[in-house]
Amino acid sequence: MSGGLLVAGTTSDAGKSVLTAGICRWLHRRGVKVAPFKAQNMSNNSAVVVGPDGRGGEIGRAQAMQAAACGVAPDLRFNPVLLKPGSDRSSQVVLLGEAVDTVTAGNYHALRPRLAEAAFAALAELREAYEVVVCEGAGSPAEINLRAGDYVNMGLARHAGLPTIVVGDIDRGGVFASMFGTVALLDPADQALVAGFVINKFRGDLGLLRPGLDMLARVTGRPTYGVLPWHLDLWLDAEDSLAYGRVLGRPAAPHGTEWLDVAVVRLPRISNATDVEALATEPGVRVRLTVEPAELAAADLVVLPGSKSTVTDLAWLRQTGLADAVAAHAAAGKPLLGICGGFQMLGRAVHDEVESRAGSVAGLGLLPVEVTFAARKTVRQTAGTAAADAGVPVRGYEIHHGHVSSADPGLPPLLAYDDGTGEGAVLGAVCGTHWHGAFESDAFRRRFLTDAARLAGRTGFRVAPDTSFAAARERSLDLLGDLVEEHLDTTALWRLVESGPPAGLPFVPPGAPR
């Protein structure tokens, strides 16, 4: 068979990514050869995939997570177009893993036919190679101002004849209005592909919801395939939903007698914020994303994460007083970590004629390094060890234009590549690295947190000896599969996948003008 399904949403962050992953895991458990697909993603959270030519390329982090749900290796075709916002008006365009252009809303339309062609070709190849492809939409299919050139929502469904389900987040309120409105704003040909709905993040008595589900079926002629409950344990591999001040996950009780408090600066153009999720899987480690200088003052460990716009976010740190809070934290001898763009900010200077074209800009001056931006982006998977202990293996990936162009002689690296070359820098309690994903390596994460606790004076903190980030991710994916099996009408979903859109779906007026 060559089945397919499109998971669309009433809004961004309605639950499309997790529902797609859950359906993928459910099908994988049934022995179906399944793959995920998102024609175009807009996100600064990306993963590195090795392409057919042996070079590293980028896809959305969510599609890498969905690949794991399918039990397959990530593939550049799973997310052929990735838009990485560098400002409110421009995005870097990554096509089949490679950065090819930077566009604004005004000139994006000129590139769109090329991107659509690549996306349609990638989907066709996947449908030849897999029994089922579960596609994820973007934003909402009812963004009627964008429908003419759409190739990720109903434009994709129309092109490939995909049955479509619409997921809505009831936690936001207005879920019935948003579901009805989504269908009613589509033209007749698009409506003919929308088979029904899924409600996400429900809390409470399902019986109280039933009258609304019945009325929605009457006014749209479409069923709700199920209601997914809100669940505390679904937080790993978040794409764009990390909120200010949010504590990640559910921190388990300390293994020792003290907690370790980690404050991660929520940069405006934060990139690969998922790096710190691995820290949050450790018992006794409380990880919060924040924009409050006071929370940095109270933290044991401060993290400057990656950024898609290093120079701009560095200026923002200074404008908000966060730069002073970071400096005070370092002056107190407490641990400070910079990852990728955050590492670049910690240096003496950033020389950027590529990303911001700002020229030479003073860094925070907390590490004796200078960073220069190169025109060609470094995108690769990495492997090596902790520089201070070659017996501690580390794996990760790099995505950056900036590279260390000068450093004080003798400055110790944080990590070492397999060939022995050093990477990153350590100066007292301040350290940085360009490697994303390093803390998913369990032994390195434990060593780093142990050192951080010592520097912060948390003598009662102890790492657990057996925490596995890979196992935590698998549990999350299995939980998604469980929720789909327990709470959705999987018989009806399979019928959609196997047979396509139901015939005779009614038109819901007024519909979009043709």
CA distances from 405 to 14, 219, 292 (A): 43, 63, 32
Spatial separation of the C-alpha atoms in residues 114 and 104, rounded to whole Å: 16
Residues with Cβ < 8 Å from 205, sequence gap 6 or more? Answer: none
Helix (H) or strand (E) holding 160: helix 154-160
Spatial separation of the C-alpha atoms in residues 31 and 42, rounded to whole Å: 31
Residues with Cβ < 8 Å from 117, sequence gap 6 or more? Answer: none
User: Which two structure tokens, joined as six digits, stand for 37?
Assistant: 């697909």
User: Which residue has tokens 């469904």?
Assistant: 157
User: Which residue has tokens 């979009």?
Assistant: 512
Phi-psi region of 94 (alpha: psi -120 to 50; beta: other; left: phi over 0): beta
Question: Which residues are registered as beta bridge partners of 165?
Answer: 7, 196
SS3 content of the chain, % helix, strand, coil (to 5): 35, 30, 35
Best CA proximity match to 141, nearest among 104, 191, 175, 176: 191
Q: Is 436 a catalytic residue?
A: yes
* Cβ count within 10 A of residue 381: 14
Listed in sequence order, the DSSP H helices in 430-468 are 442-456
Handedness of CA 79, 80, 84, 90 (dihedral sign): negative
Residues with Cβ < 8 Å from 61, sequence gap 6 or more? Answer: 43, 45, 46, 47, 237, 239, 272, 274
Spatial separation of the C-alpha atoms in residues 296 and 459, rounded to whole Å: 20
Q: Is 135 a catalytic residue?
A: no
Residue type, 289: L
Spatial separation of the C-alpha atoms in residues 108 and 93, rounded to whole Å: 9
Phi-psi region of 59 (alpha: psi -120 to 50; beta: other; left: phi over 0): beta
Residue type, 282: E
Angle (nearest 5°) at CA 117 between 116 and 121? 115
Of 70, 340, 401, 431, catalytic: 340
Of 28, 329, 436, 487, catalytic: 436
Three-state DSSP at 182 gives helix
Helix axes 469-487, 16-29, angle to 10 degrees: 90
**Cα torsion through 117, 123, 124, 126, rounded to 10:** 150
Three-state DSSP at 488 gives strand
Angle (nearest 5°) at CA 170 between 167 and 175? 70
Name the residues annotated as catalytic: 340, 436
